[in-house]
Amino acid sequence: AKKGVKTIIYTDIATDGMLTGPNLSAMQQMSEACPAQIIASGGIGNIEDILSLQKTGVEGAIIGKALYTGKVDLREAFQQLKQAEGGILC
């Protein structure tokens, strides 16, 4: 961030593609430690995972396999995020 980086994509390779849930603790630690925007990646398997990430302070999330397999419906995810406390996760 001191060098001008504005956004970091943080992929937890231990959970990437597993659909078992993101590493919320690591995402929150990264979000708190770094002034750059953090985009979370890895492990998202359902809408509840996305809602949980919203509470960690990350700015966004990459949802890959969960979209391809139909485990996450993007329209439904956006609707739930808009209704959730804290607004939408971009």
Cα–Cα–Cα angle for 29, 13, 32, rounded to 5 degrees:
10
Strand partners, 62: 41
Q: What is the pLDDT of residues 1-52, one digit of tens each?
A: 889 999 999 999 999 999 999 999 999 999 999 999 999 999 999 999 999 9
**pLDDT at residue 1 in the model:** 85
- Whole-model pTM over 0.75: yes
Are 12 and 42 in contact by the 8 Å Cβ rule? The answer is yes
**pLDDT at residue 90 in the model:** 52
As to burial, measured by CB atoms within 10 angstroms (0-12 exposed, 13-18 middle, 19+ buried), residue 21 is: middle
Q: What is the pLDDT of residues 39-86, one digit of tens each?
A: 999 999 999 999 999 999 999 999 999 999 999 999 999 899 888 866
